[in-house]
A = this chain, B = another copy of it.
């Protein structure tokens, strides 16, 4: 692609291919660490963890660590362990999320909690989380440990705040941004910031890549929110309307509620309150989201954060890595169409 800095909207469809090609070699190293370090003499641990880890996730976060290291010309492989640690933290979070939400499907497969039960998912999540810290300790950078332990605490805070906002129709856009900045964007940001630390680059590079990751994470989450109301189940690997049935206040709903008529608002109150979970209710909800432009407006918001992510890369000279990081942003947004 042509890596003009503000190129949100290229002629061909943006994809993850440049990112995948950029990190392919390093990713083999990361995958080797992941496979080796999810092992345990307790057989249920690799069985359950492997179900999710081998289960078709994009491994966005470790890829971002690798791509940011590539951007900085880092020649070593210390970041393989750290990228694996990031993926373990993410996997632990997913295992716990599916317990929290009572989810039955993820990435087109039955969830671990459905197959092995909630207790096993909670405990294997704890194991992966601990293993992530062991990997970081082996690397030995206190700075990396600080970044990722702080991100982990922020993620948990965001998840708890989301839990308290569930079924609360009063949740506003500001609170929602606070929640997703914590529960989603913090790990994207940390995954990116780890690279300049390992590559021993400047504090400026750390802040720039943290900003890239944070804004990309928000853009990803907002387009996920749109996809939950707009795509068919195959695209997401989970059912359309999961957020709706769980009474989750995501930005599309926040906007539709704010912009809706009195009767629309009454509908949203009862829907988010859990009184309307049928297919006809979901269809009505999608109709209201379209009438109020709530879905397209959410994509616009995502585009805004995408622009900020790309602008955060301004200090880095043009390169294959930079182009791949830019197209990753475009891909994140384009998923919503």
Chain A interface residues toward B at CB < 8 A: 40-45, 92-93, 96, 99-101, 118-120, 122-124, 126-127, 129-131, 133-134, 136-137, 140, 142, 145-146, 149-150, 152-153, 155-157, 159-161, 163-164
Contacts and interface: CB of A to CB of B under 8 A. Distances in A.
B160 A42 contact: yes
Nearest to A41: B157
B122 A100 contact: yes
Contacts of A119: 99-101, 163
A163 B120 contact: yes
A134 B124 CA distance: 21
Contacts of A99: 118-119, 122
A140 to B, nearest CB: 6
Contacts of A145: 133, 137, 145
A118 B118 contact: yes
How many copies of this chain does one complex carry? 2
Contacts of A146: 134, 137
A287 to B, nearest CB: 31
Given A45-B160, A157-B42, A149 B120 contact: no
- Scoring A101, A142, A153 by chain B CB atoms within 10 A of each residue's CB, the highest score goes to A153
Given A42-B160, A119-B163, A163-B44, A149 B127 contact: no
A156 B40 CA distance: 11
Given A123-B156, A134-B149, A136-B149, 6 more contacts: A43-B164, A96-B126, A100-B118, A118-B118, A127-B156, A137-B146
Contacts of A118: 99-100, 118
A77 to B, nearest CB: 20
Nearest to A120: B163
B149 A142 contact: no
Contacts of A137: 142, 145-146, 149
Nearest to A159: B123
B130 A149 contact: yes
A335 to B, nearest CB: 27
Given A42-B164, A127-B160, A153 B140 contact: no
Q: Which 6 A-B pairs have the closest CB atoms?
A: A127-B156, A130-B152, A130-B153, A133-B149, A100-B119, A126-B156
A160 B123 contact: yes
14 contacts: A45-B157, A93-B126, A96-B126, A99-B118, A100-B119, A118-B118, A120-B163, A123-B156, A123-B159, A123-B163, A124-B156, A127-B160, A130-B153, A140-B142
Contact of A44 (B124, B129, B160): B160
Contacts of A100: 118-119, 122-123
A45 B162 CA distance: 12
A26 B9 CA distance: 61
A131 B133 CA distance: 13
A122 B149 CA distance: 17
- Scoring A99, A133, A152 by chain B CB atoms within 10 A of each residue's CB, the highest score goes to A133
A126 B136 CA distance: 18
Given A149-B133, A163-B120, A40 B157 contact: yes
A81 to B, nearest CB: 13
A44 to B, nearest CB: 5
